Structure 1
Amino acid sequence: MKFVDEATIFCEAGKGGNGCLSFRREKFIEKGGPDGGDGGDGGSVYLEVDGSINTLIDFRYQPRYRAKTGESGSGRDCTGAKGADIVLKVPVGTTVIDVETEEVLGDLTKVGQRLMVARGGFHGLGNTRFKSSTNRAPRQTTPGSLGEERTLRLEMKVLADVGLLGMPNAGKSTLIRAISSAKPKVANYPFTTLVPNLGVVSVQPHRSFVVADIPGLIEGAAEGAGLGIRFLKHLVRTRLLLHVVDMAPYDESDPADVVRAIEVELDKFSETLAGRERWLVLNKLDLLPEEEREQVCSQLQEKLGWSGPVYKISAISGEGTKQLCFDIMEWIEARSAEEAEDESLAEAERALRIRMDAEAREKLQALKAARAKKRSNEDDDDFDDDDDDDMEVVYAP
């Protein structure tokens, strides 16, 4: 199945049914009075989280949704039927944004969670509603109101405790295969990973965490190079970043320069995300002579001035991965316990994620606008205003 993590849809709630103008008519009852019923409410549009869905691809093929209109009222005080609601299934981790106002309507993070995105119109009132001691035969009714219309942007972000960060071919996919049951594609060329992958890491019975592997970044990703920064938004929900470093690069580049390049791209994307807890994971040590490993790792730490946690592993052989997973589990449990005891810490964590979401959304929208402007300029350059019968018009894809 194709991985789609963003889609734009149009939702229109149903119109409310009109009220009825009717008078009671029965044999031997000359003036029975008003008996016009109310209309039914229009149907609403809801989004509901379904745990079996992991992509927004269905919304690419069907972007418009309209709920049913409520039926009009009828005589004998009969109320019109309510319009049927529409419930659209979305994956866990979907953020709902109003395109016109850029307001975040909701963040759907739990299976079964439901959000109303377009409210159905209110029902019209029948003439029975207007009868009084001074108005014995009212002819007033009201029409049903229109339902809400909204253009929404759905953004899906994978839910994970730990995110893997690094250059292409750093060994992120190999690491997630080594510590979980996930089976992402692994090959000896860059950009093997084209979509995010999730893996559940079980440390002990009833002790596990979720790790996310995103496509690798390269220098200039913030300006759209390589796969760009499209998938970096999936890291804003993680609690811990593992910066996987290839200690034996095939191009003999300096690992310290590679780490700094990634840090620059991360900071351009979101300063808040760049300040997240991050551990260095020095991978592919099995490709270095055993007597040189410690020296090479120490030199890297000195060049970076790194004072945080450092783990030396070989993902393909599993060396060092068990201790890494155990320490991650300990860290996550400690943070969860602190937030459970102190509500202010939990609130700070929520505020931090909201800020990262906003920064990521702003950066991605700016990048899209820049790309659209570039395509527009290319179209203008392709157009030649000379009166030439042999003129060729080129349309940019």
Structure 2
Amino acid sequence: MKFVDEAFIRVEAGDGGSGCVSFRREKYIPKGGPDGGDGGDGGSITLLADNNLNTLVDFRFQRIHRAESGHKGMGKDMRGRGGRDLLLRVPVGTRVFDEETGEHLGELLTNGERLLVAQGGFHGIGNARYKSSTNRAPRQFSPGSPGERRDLRLELILLADVGLLGFPNAGKSSLIRQVSSARPKVADYPFTTLYPNLGVVSLGHRRSFVIADIPGVIEGAAEGAGLGIQFLKHLSRTRLLLHLVDMAPLTEDEDPADQVRKIEAELAAFGGELTDKERWLVLNKCDLLDPAAAQQSRDRVVEALGWQAPVYECSALTGAGTATLMEDLMRRLEQLKVESGEAHSPDEPDVSEWHPLD
């Protein structure tokens, strides 16, 4: 199924039903009085987060969604039936914006969470509600109010703990295949990955995290080049970024340190919180170099960048070095959860003094 991360829809809540003007007319009751009932409330439109959905593709085919309007009031003080509410299911991690005003209406981050996006109209009042000692035969009534109408932009944010960042062919898809059960397409040409992929890394009982494979970013992405820039927003909710670098480029002119700088420039141009996120450097494809050359390349890249965060060497193809990387990621994520005040079980390991494994 094609991954769709953005959709534009129009929601129209139901109008309230009009009140009724009616008078009681029964045999032998000459002065029955007013008995016009109220109308029914219009139906509202609510979004519901559903774990069984992972794309917004359904909203590409049906863009207009209308709730039922309330029915008119009737005689004998009978109120009109209310309009049925409309429930729209969306994937967990959906942000909702008013397209006309740009207002952020909310986001759905847990399964079963609901968000009211269009309120149904209020019912009209029948003439029975207007009777008084001085107004014995009222002919007043009120129409129902119109329901809310909005043009919405739905934006899907992938909820992952770790995001993979890097140039095309840096080995992101190969890494996620190596450490999880996800099977993204892998090929020897750029832009093999067209849509984000999620994988779950399991390291034992109650020790797992979600890793996201994001399409590669290239130079000039902030101006619209390549594919990655349209998916960078998915990384905004990750706790940590892995910056993959190809240590065995096809040509000698390609400098791994220069690749890192180019992507850092695109992150800065993109803005937001990405530039401030914790980012680890992963030197991939080290199996294509002999040990001495690999060590020299590592030292040269770290020195050129002045890198202070953790640095790892691995081979996404053979799996060398990935076990240590995943274990360190798990320990770091556990520590971040503790620091953020998230609830954790007493039997979870002590990570108050986390440090990378030797």
Task: Please indicate the TM-score interval, normalised by the length of the shorter structure.
Answer: over 0.9
Q: Which position in structure 2 is the counterpart of 1:55?
A: 55
Amino acid in the other structure paired with 2:268: D
Give the 3-state SS of the residue equivalent to 1:117 in structure 2.
Answer: strand
TM-score (normalised: structure 2): 0.93
1:171 aligns with 2:171: yes
Q: Which residues of structure 2 form unaligned runs of 5+?
A: 344-358
Contact 2:215/2:228 (<8 A) preserved = no
Contact in 1 for aligned 2:214/2:228 (Cα 8 Å): no
Secondary structure of 1:229's aligned partner: helix
Shift of residue 272, structure 1, vs aligned partner: 2.5
Task: Quote the RMSD (CA, aligned, Å).
Answer: 1.2
Separation (CA, whole Å) in 1 of partners of 2:259 and 2:272? 19
Distance 1:11 1:251 in 2: 53
Partner residue in 1 for 2:246: 246
SS in 1 for 2:237: coil
Aligned equivalents of 1:233 and 1:244: distance in 2? Answer: 18
User: 1:264 aligns to what?
Assistant: 265
Please say if residues 16 and 69 of structure 2, whose CA atoms lie closer than 8 Å, have aligned partners that are also in contact.
yes
Once residues 171 and 111 of structure 2 are traced to their aligned partners in structure 1, the CA distance between those partners, rounded to angstroms, is 32
> Is 1:319 paired with 2:342?
no
CA-CA distance at 1:251 after TM superposition:
2.4
Structure 1 residue 152, shift from structure 2 partner: 0.5
Once the two structures are overlaid, the 10-residue window that deviates more, 291-300 or 119-128, is: 291-300
| CA distance in 1: counterparts of 2:219 and 2:143, whole angstroms | 60
1:128 partner amino acid = A
What's 2:232 paired with? 232
Give distance in 2, aligned partners of 1:147 and 1:272: 37
Alignment gaps of 5+ in structure 1: 343-397
Query: How is 1:65-104 mapped onto 2 (pairs within 5 angstroms)?
Result: 65-104=65-104
Q: Which residue of 1 aligns with 2:291?
A: 290
2: CA distance between counterparts of 1:183 and 1:287?
23
Cα gap change, 1:35 to 1:13, in 2 (>3 Å): same
Given the alignment of the two structures, is residue 31 of structure 1 paired with residue 23 of structure 2, yes or no?
no
Report the residue type matching 1:304 in the other structure: L
Kindly state the Cα deviation for residue 341 of structure 1 after the two structures are TM-superposed: 7.1
| SS of the residue 1:72 aligns to | coil
CA contact (8 A) 1:168 1:190 kept: yes
SS in 2 for 1:32: coil
Q: Which residue of 1 aligns with 2:156?
A: 156
Q: Is the 8 A contact 1:313 1:320 kept in 2?
A: yes
Q: Secondary structure at the match of 1:153?
A: strand
What is residue 310 of structure 2 aligned with on the other side? 309
Structure 1 segments of 4+ aligned residues over 6 angstroms from their partners: none
TM-score using structure 1 length: 0.84
String of CA shifts for 1:332-382, please: whole Å, max 9, x gaps. Answer: 11111122179xxxxxxxxxxxxxxxxxxxxxxxxxxxxxxxxxxxxxxxx
**Separation in 1 of the partners of 2:126 and 2:54?**
46
Say whether the 8 Å CA contact 2:164–2:214 is kept in structure 1: yes
Number of aligned residue pairs: give it: 342
**How far has the Cα of 1:228 moved from its partner?**
5.0
**Corresponding position of 1:5:** 5
For residues 114 and 223 of structure 1, the distance between their equivalents in structure 2, rounded to whole angstroms, comes to 36
Question: How far apart are the structure 1 equivalents of 2:272 and 2:246?
Answer: 24
Q: In 2, Cα distance between the equivalents of 1:145 and 1:58?
A: 30
**Structure 2 Cα separation of the partners of residues 105 and 97 of structure 1:** 5
Report if the CA contact (8 A) 1:222-1:228 is conserved.
no
Displacement after TM superposition at 1:271 (Å): 5.0
SS in 2 for 1:340: coil
Task: Give the Cα separation in 1 of the matches to 2:293 and 2:177.
Answer: 27
Q: Distance in 1 between matches of 2:19 and 2:218?
A: 63
Is the Cα–Cα contact under 8 Å of residues 8 and 151 in structure 1 kept in the other structure? yes
SS of equivalent residue, structure 1 residue 164 = strand
The one-letter code matched in structure 2 to 1:329 is M
Task: For residues 118-160 of structure 1, give each alpha carbon's deviation from its aligned partner in whole angstroms, at most 9, with x where no partner exists.
Answer: 1111000011111122222221110001111100111111110
Q: Does 1:145 align with 2:145?
A: yes
Residue identity opposite 1:95 in structure 2: R
User: Does the aligned pair in 2 maintain the 1:167–1:258 contact within 8 Å?
Assistant: yes
Aligned-partner SS, 1:236: helix
Preserved contact between residue 50 and residue 92 of structure 1 (Cα < 8 Å): yes
Q: Residue 335 of structure 1 aligns to a residue in which SS?
A: helix
> Are the equivalent residues in 1 in contact too, given 2:19–2:125 (CA < 8 A)?
yes
Aligned position for 1:185: 185
| In structure 1, distance between residues paired with 2:294 and 2:119 | 63
- What is residue 44 of structure 1 aligned with on the other side? 44
Residues 16, 146 of structure 1: 8 Å contact kept = yes
**2:20 and 2:205 mapped to 1: Cα distance?**
64
Letter in 1 for 2:163: G
Aligned to 2:341: 340
Percent identity between matched residues is: 64
**Alpha-carbon distance change, 48 to 271 in structure 1, aligned in 2, over 3 angstroms:** closer
C-alpha contact (below 8 Å) 2:286/2:314 kept by paired residues: yes
Structure 2 counterpart of 1:221, which letter?
A
Question: Once the two structures are superposed, what CA deviation does each residue of 1:96-125 show, in whole Å capped at 9, x if it has no partner?
Answer: 000111000011111111111111110000
Question: How far apart, in 2, do the equivalents of 1:3 and 1:192 lie?
Answer: 14
SS of 2:43's equivalent? Answer: coil
Check whether the contact 2:216–2:228 (CA below 8 A) recurs between aligned residues. no
Indicate the larger mover: 248-257 or 180-189.
248-257
* Structure with the larger helix share: 1
